[in-house]
Structure 1
């Protein structure tokens, strides 16, 4: 089957040449080249040389079995985790690769250890390519999440980025395709990813509602009540229980302040609410709001709290949709507890001076004066006085004493 042919006419002088250019030819197939003298019946002939040159698509990775989803879906890959501070720096996904004729598309499986917002960049591109990030639907079929096309630059190389994809923990697929591969063009490329990783150690706590099993009960005092917490995509709400009054913190005026735990501005990313637990006549529990604020308008609230059961709640401002994420602490200013020293002083019995007004009663004046003197001799005199005659003993006050 002829792929291409040309005719080179006899020159008026000297010699001539002709070229069949840029034939796309696949590896592993046999081809045949023929040179014919079409006027041989006229008894003419010619010397000739035949050479071949071209662009060989022999990139070292062209033979990798990564040209389709089926070829890579069983790959074992290391999960991508990110740093402890919740960031993922630029991480290679496909490095020193090539797509073009004979290797038109490359797939790579990635597994995310955590929910997050991730970006994907294809770089070093000299010809037109398409970058796509795929998820997998419930039927095991690829579903495109986002794709971009990077056109061939006028000079040098080009790049393009799919930005800020909200992705749950799990497996995904990245594909790079040379869209003009049938024209015989190809390009080197690299793909990397980066992003914000929602890997706060407390995200897995079961405290997303007031009656969740993992809600922690706190004893509030002035200081940091909650530290190093986070709300956002995948962890929309956190609840914390506390008691005021019996078996809890002192009743009185409390101030609750929301502060940033990750160094970022609060920027209205969360709503803070205090709820009180109530019971109906049948003993069923519910909660009612006592006070709240959204942190683009305020960063604290002061409330007078009486005896009862309460909850602090921090909610992502967009209900966990991923655009309002925040690391936070909760600082509390609590009422001072009663002083044990002052309580003890308040309960002391009255001193002898307090009995001075009783001095006018017959029969006990000497005894009271003796007690006030606070001497052993006086104490003895008091006993003598208290052992007075019958008239003294009849005094009603004497009987009480």
Structure 2
């Protein structure tokens, strides 16, 4: 296949707008440490100058980009339908041109993925180098070489932890600006995992740096305890946060995650909450909310709003039938009113309360313009283990002649 060194779809006004809305917050985050902690913009603790910077350079572009993404999903239906249909119905050709943006290079990942990785690495480098350059000399003057350098290493790596936490939840949104410019959820999740590994690494460096600093000053016992009402107790909360993030990293190891997925899911959520609470109480600076609150709100909206919307449109049950000859389950959802438009390749997550609490993603097989009141899934069991989710669903289903209704909850639609 020929490689086209151009980005045809990304040059449209819509995609350029989304790219600009994405790059503005990234640019601001790159210089955030200097503006906030070196220049020390006035009125850090009340609404004032820095809030206008945040509103203009972070919140406004993010909100506009997300609104444009939602508009692009729901209201550009006809053009998206034609583009999606062309992608899934046109056979591949040796002369077919693949844009550089979509080209797969190292380890099976695309150029766009590696560009995003490069941005993330450069941001982490900037977040660490800026504090080291601006503050190390001053700290050496106050605490000597060992104490000054170790304190600044702890300070810089701690800032990296906070800044990474401001990004990591954004990377697991099922619909975000990144999806509007061509990324898919499965392409972004690996970066979420690597950023999680970076948080574990930065947290370890932060802990080691401050332990060395406190040891060199003879303050290790006095500054890490539950006996005082200030720094010692706050540092103990940091110890709990570090323990939680280490357990998060341990549970996310692929071999453990795949073998014990339900355990991974529950502990991942629990220890994430413990880590965030521990981090906030370890460093209860009002500025911390500038990094954490926007991404936490976006994550909660992404997780709960689709469920609320679908619970009001799609009936909480589905018609289920199992064709044992073809080894295929047919699951059909209905709605008393037209559903939101969905496109070829989109997917929903389905929960069957009788089987378990976990939502499982499946690609939508039906075509919205033909019948906007129904949504159909075809699920292969592949002769899985008798304990598998799909086999348990097959046991609940009737045959093609006698379909059974089962209680089911839907989360989605996701994809474009």
Which interval holds the TM-score relative to the shorter structure? under 0.3
Question: Which has a greater percent of strand?
Answer: 1
Q: Which has the higher contact order (CA 8 A, sep 6+)?
A: 2
User: Relative to total residues, which structure has the larger helix share, 1 or 2?
Assistant: 2
| Superposition TM-score, scaled by structure 2 size | 0.20
